[in-house]
Amino acid sequence: MSENCIFCKIVNKEIPSELIYEDEKLIVFKDIRPQAPVHLLIVPRKHIRSINDLKPEDHAIAGDMLIAAQKIAKLVGVDKNGYKLNFHVEKGGGQEVFHLHMHLVGGWEK
């Protein structure tokens, strides 16, 4: 855990969030500034600053995030109509919270 990381605080239930799903490796919650009808953040419990900081021993985390996205998309009903998965990497790539996370966005009308 990084002491000043807001996502670490959400993972540790120090800050409330609109929780959608959690397991031993990940937590999924609603983005506080949604860009779509469905805008969720898939966040590993382990603090990893960004994709640039993934280590070989973290390779399973990326796969877990993708499998969770598939499960969550079905859970929230966007799996059939479609959704987007996005990673923002570093400040120039739009990353605002420096804890690895993936955006799941969707829910637009056909």
Of 3, 26, 7, the closest CA to residue 15 belongs to: 7
**pLDDT at residue 110, as a whole number:** 65
Residue 69 lies in a domain: yes
User: What global pTM score does this model have?
Assistant: 0.94
Low-confidence ranges of the chain (pLDDT < 50): none
Residue 91, C-beta contacts closer than 8 angstroms, at least 6 positions apart: none
Q: Where are the beta strands (DSSP E) in 16-92?
A: 19-22, 26-30, 38-44, 83-86
Partners of 85 in beta bridges: 104
Of 21, 31, 110, the closest CA to residue 74 belongs to: 21
Catalytic residues: 101
**pLDDT at residue 109, as a whole number:** 78
* Containing structural domain, residue 35: 6-106
Q: Per the structure, how many domains does the chain have?
A: 1
Residue 1 lies in a domain: no
**pLDDT at residue 53, as a whole number:** 96
Residue 28 lies in a domain: yes
**pLDDT at residue 3, as a whole number:** 73
**pLDDT at residue 102, as a whole number:** 98
Sole residue written with tokens 């860009």: 35
